[in-house]
Amino acid sequence: MKYLITGATGNLGEKVTRWLRTMTPETNIRVGIHNLKKADKFSDLAVEKVKLDYFDLNTLKEAVAGVDLVIYIPSITYNLQKRITEFENVLQVVKEAKSKLIFVSFFADQENNPFADCKIKLNT
């Protein structure tokens, strides 16, 4: 099974990526990265790194191509219209690709984000 994790370089996205690799080979994991300068965050992993922009359908389609399950972690934005458009774009591309979708979200993009300093210790 091939997985795509969107928002992978964010706090939650990185934790999901590192957790998922305990359950499947890293080669089954593709990480969607908005700013490829942050791709070195995963230099210690054999995951596939791809450019992904929620507002560019071409990068979304390329990222989702061949993926069985998209783990969608939304961007951090307070602009409701942008959040809706972002989600609609992801839904459209996932539907076209006939992939499955898991939506992962929480209200932790506020100033006092309780997960900002969260450290997850993995038994690997």
Amino acid letter for position 93: V
A 10 A CB-CB count for 111 gives: 5
pLDDT over 80 (residue 51): yes
Buried residues in 49-71 as b, exposed as e (16+ CB within 10 A): bbbbbbeeeebbeebbeebebbb
107 has pLDDT over 60: no
Q: Could you tell me the pLDDT band of residue 120, with boundaries at 50, 70 and 90? A: very low
Can you tell me the mean pLDDT for 47-62? Answer: 96
Two structure tokens written together for 91? 């839904």
Output the CA torsion sign for 43, 73, 52, 117.
negative
pLDDT of 22 higher than 90: yes
C-alpha angle 117/119/121, rounded to 5°? 180
